[in-house]
Structure 1
């Protein structure tokens, strides 16, 4: 968890805004993959990899947020 604390919020937000959302057109890639997951069409290995790759920054942000809240509470 020490490594998670060492990452600044600025870095996390920047990574979420770039890697987590790219490509932006026609819609954010991670959003497209999440919709595919919900509808059951996320079956190709490249799509699963894309979801993990573009979802990782959001997972990092969630873990860092939970860590921050648990340290304050």
Structure 2
């Protein structure tokens, strides 16, 4: 199994942020791993992979400030 998780977060205002997450998973469920590290790693990387990319935006609204403007 080979797994990569990368996260980038940016706080652009107090209490507000943007997060971008990338995940990659390659797996091989062989029970025998006698070929050595290099061959096993190559075999796992060559298998089908599951990739995902997500974006999350949190924005803080101050209700009291908003109420004063209305």
TM range (shorter): under 0.3
TM-score, normalization: structure 2?
0.22
Considering fraction of residues, name the structure with more strand.
2
Compare the two structures and name the one with the higher helix fraction. 1
Higher CA-based Rg: 2
Normalising by structure 1, report the TM-score: 0.22
